[in-house]
Chain A
C-alpha cells in the first residue's frame, strides 16, 4: 500500500468512533465547573420565578376574587381539539388555538391552565365552546353553559372535553 493510501487509512480509522478527540477538550475541568455553575444559576432563577409567580398572583389575582380555569381531555379521546373559547357571564374570558404539541400534551394527560382572572363572590355563568374534528373527519363544534359559585377562597374549575362518546355536549365542568 502506498504512503498516500496508508495516510488515508489512518484518517479512516480515526473517524470511526462517534466522539472526536475535540470533545475531550470540552470535558475538562473548566467545562465541568461551568456545567455546575449553570446548574446553580438555573436553580436560582427557578426560585426567583417561583417567588415572582407568588407576588404576581397576590398582586393580580387576590384569593378572594381569583378564578383559574383548567382544560383536560377525557381519557382515550381520539378527536382532534382545535380551539376552545370561554366566556364568563357572557363576556369573552379567553380563547385558545391548539398546536400539535399542546394537543399531544393534553392527550398524554396534561392539564392546561387556560385562564386566570378575577370574579366577585357569588354565582356566575361559564360558557365553554370547543371546536375540533372527529376521527371520521367531520367537524365538531359544541357549546355548553354551567353555573358556578365563587366563594372567598380561590376557585379552580376543571373543564374536561371529549367527543360524542363522552356523553352530552362532550363538555364537563367540575370543581377541583
Chain B
C-alpha cells in the first residue's frame, strides 16, 4: 500500500499548488502586463520570452528606480520562476527562485520563494532538498499560502517515510478550507504508513464522510472509502468492506473499482446473489476499462455459483465475443502506435486547444490505442514525457516558422539596399551643402549672441547704427581725415560743420540706443526660435539618413548567426523528439501488450468456463427432463 500516498499526494499537489499571478496593485509596466496576458492563457513560452527580456533590461539599467518595472520587480522575478515551473523548466525555475531567496527581500517574499523552491524539489522527487527549503521558512508567512506550505510539508514527510511528523502536520490541517478533505485522507495514509492500523481505519472512515459539494473533495471522499473498503476486504472483513465500498458514488471516478470490489466482497462471503448486483451494473459500462472486463468474467462466475448455468453460459459467451473484439482492437492499436499514428494524434493542433485534450483523445476514431491508455496517460511520469514531447513539437513548429522568416528578412534587407544605395550619393551631397550652410548660420548666430552679451556690459551705440548711419559715419570720418592734412581757408568752418553732423549722428545713436538694443534683442530671440526649428529639421534629416543606413546595414551577421542557431536547434529538437517519442511509444506498447495479454488470459478462462457452463446447463436440463 505504500505506493498509494505518494501517487495520490503527487496528483493533489499538482492540482492544488498551482497559483497564478493575480490582479493586485495598479499595473505600471505594460510589458509585465503583456507577459501576464500570455501566462493567464497558458502560453508560458511567450510569457517567459517577454518577461525574461524585460527583467534582463531592467537589471542592466544604471538607475532601475526610474524604470516602470521597478514597482513590480519582486513580482516579476517570482513570476519568472513561476512561468518556468509551469513550462517545466525546473532547473531555471530553481535558479530564479534561489536568486530571490538570496536577495535582500522582505520576510514574506523570502518565505514565499522558499515554499516555491520546496515545491520544485518535491516535484523533482528531491525530498531532502525540499525539506531544507521548507526549513528556511521562518517568521511571517503570506496568509494565502500558509496551508499550502503545511500540506506540502506533510506530503514531503510522507514521501520521506516520516509518518509521525506528517501526522502532526496533517492534524493541524484538518479544518483547512482548501485542504481539509485531502488532509483527512492523507492523515489516514500517514497512520497506515506508521503502522497505526486502527487509527488509519478510523481516519479513512472520517475522510469518507466529509460533507462537501466540491468535485475534487468528492473524489477524495470516494477514494477514502475505496481504500478503506479494499483494506477491509484484504483483511477478510467482507461485510464491513462492502459498507464502505457502497459509499463510493456510482458516477465518480472510482466507481468502477468500487463496484468490482463490492462484488468480490459479496462473493468472498458466499453471498453470490448480492455479488451479481454491482457486477451487472459494471459489466454494461465502458468495455475498455479493466474493472469492466474483470466484471464481465466475474458475473457469469457468480451465476455459476448460483447454479444458473444457462445465464452464466450466455454471459461467458458475451464476454468471449467482447474480449475477442477488444484483443483485435488492441492488436490494431499496437500496430497503429508502431506506425507512428499515436504521436501524430497527440500533436494535432485542434486536440491541444481543448483543456480536456487527453479525454478527447478517446473520441478520435483513427487512434484506437488511446482507449486503453487513459490510465497510463494519467500517470505523472508518462504525462511529463508526453508534455515534453508536445513542447518539443511546439518548439519545432516555432523554429521552422523562424527558419522560413530568415529568407524574408534577407529579401527585405536586399530591397532596402537596392532602394537606398542609388539615392544616397545625391542625398549625401545635398546633406554636405546643408551641413556647411547650417554650420555657417550657427557661427553667425553665436557671434550675434556674443555681441548682444557684450553690449549688455559695455554699451557701444555705434554697433547698433543702421547701414545708412554707418555709411554716413564712415564718410564723416573719411572727410575728417582729409581735412586734417589739408590747408584750406575753409578748414575751420568745414570742421565745425563736420562736428555738427557727427554730433547729430552720435546724438541719434546715443538717444535711440536702448530702443535699438531692445529691438536687437527681440530680433535675436526670434532668430533663436528659427535656429531651433532649423536645428530640429537638421537633426531629423540626420536621423532619417541614419535610419536609411540602419534599415539595411549590419543585419547580415546576426541573421546568419541566428539562422545557424535555428538550424542547430531544429536538429537537436528532432533528435530529442525521436528519443522522447520512442520512449513514449515503447511504454504505450508495453501497456497495451499487458492489457492484451490480460484479455487473452481472460478469453482463455472464458472459453473454458463457457464450455463448462454449457456442460452443466445441459446436465441440469437433462436432470429436469428425466422422468
In the complex, the answer to whether A22 meets B587 with C-beta atoms within 8 Å is yes
Q: Chain A residues near B268: list those with CB within 8 A.
A: 1, 5
Which of A26, A34, A48, A64 touches B569 (beta carbons < 8 Å)?
A48
Which of B53, B257, B264 touches A9 (beta carbons < 8 Å)?
B264
Could you tell me which residues of chain A, from 1 to 36, have a CB within 8 Å of some CB in chain B?
A: 1, 4-5, 8-9, 11-13, 15-20, 22-27, 30-31, 34-36
Query: B449 on the interface (CB 8 Å rule)?
Result: no
Write the chain B residue with the least CB distance to A27. Answer: B381
Query: A45 on the interface (CB 8 Å rule)?
Result: yes
Number of A-B residue pairs with CB-CB distance less than 8 Å in the complex they form: 227
A38-B391, A45-B395, A70-B34 known; A108-B385 Cβ under 8 A: no
Q: Chain B residues near A108: list those with CB within 8 A.
A: 20-23, 36, 40
Query: B523 on the interface (CB 8 Å rule)?
Result: no
Query: B500 on the interface (CB 8 Å rule)?
Result: no
Query: A123 on the interface (CB 8 Å rule)?
Result: no
Interface range for B: 35 or more
Give Cα A38 to B23, complex, Å: 32
Q: Chain B residues near A55: list those with CB within 8 A.
A: 409, 555, 558-559, 562
In the complex, the answer to whether B569 meets A45 with C-beta atoms within 8 Å is yes
Query: A152 on the interface (CB 8 Å rule)?
Result: yes
Q: How distant is A152 from chain B, measured CB to nearest CB, in Å?
A: 7
Query: Using an 8 Å CB-CB cutoff, how does the interface string of A68-79 with B read, 1 for contact, 0 for none?
Result: 101010010000
Give Cα A45 to B570, complex, Å: 10
Q: How distant is B223 from chain A, measured CB to nearest CB, in Å?
A: 9
Q: How distant is B532 from chain A, measured CB to nearest CB, in Å?
A: 15
Interface range for A: 35 or more
Write the chain A residue with the least CB distance to B267. Answer: A5
Write the chain B residue with the least CB distance to A38. Answer: B388
Q: Chain B residues near A54: list those with CB within 8 A.
A: 53
In the complex, the answer to whether B230 meets A16 with C-beta atoms within 8 Å is yes
Could you tell me which residues of chain B, from 239 to 253, have a CB within 8 Å of some CB in chain A?
A: none
Query: Using an 8 Å CB-CB cutoff, how does the interface string of A107-118 with B read, 1 for contact, 0 for none?
Result: 011111100000
A45-B569, A52-B402 known; A105-B37 Cβ under 8 A: yes
In the complex, the answer to whether B376 meets A22 with C-beta atoms within 8 Å is yes
Query: Using an 8 Å CB-CB cutoff, how does the interface string of B558-595 with A read, 1 for contact, 0 for none?
Result: 11001001100100110010011001000100110010
Q: How distant is A26 from chain B, measured CB to nearest CB, in Å?
A: 4
Query: A44 on the interface (CB 8 Å rule)?
Result: yes
Query: A144 on the interface (CB 8 Å rule)?
Result: no
Give Cα A113 to B388, complex, Å: 29
Q: Chain A residues near B363: list those with CB within 8 A.
A: none
Q: Chain B residues near A89: list those with CB within 8 A.
A: none
5 pairs across A/B with beta carbons < 8 Å? A12-B294, A22-B376, A31-B381, A36-B91, A50-B53
Q: Which residues of A contact B (CB under 8 A)?
A: 1, 4-5, 8-9, 11-13, 15-20, 22-27, 30-31, 34-39, 41-46, 48-56, 58-59, 62, 64-65, 68, 70, 72, 75, 101-102, 104-106, 108-113, 121, 152, 156, 158, 176
Q: Known pairs A1-B267, A55-B562, A109-B24. 20 more at Cβ < 8 A?
A: A5-B267, A18-B4, A22-B379, A23-B376, A26-B384, A31-B384, A42-B45, A46-B52, A48-B565, A49-B398, A55-B559, A64-B547, A68-B30, A72-B27, A104-B40, A105-B41, A108-B21, A109-B21, A109-B23, A110-B41
Q: Which residues of B contact A (CB under 8 A)?
A: 3-4, 6-8, 10-11, 20-24, 27, 30, 33-34, 36-42, 45, 48-49, 52-53, 68, 87-92, 125, 226-227, 230, 234, 257, 260-261, 264, 267-268, 290-291, 294, 297-298, 301, 375-376, 378-382, 384-385, 388, 391-392, 395, 398-399, 402, 409, 412-413, 540, 543, 547, 550-551, 555, 558-559, 562, 565-566, 569, 572-573, 576, 579-580, 583, 587, 590-591, 594, 598, 605
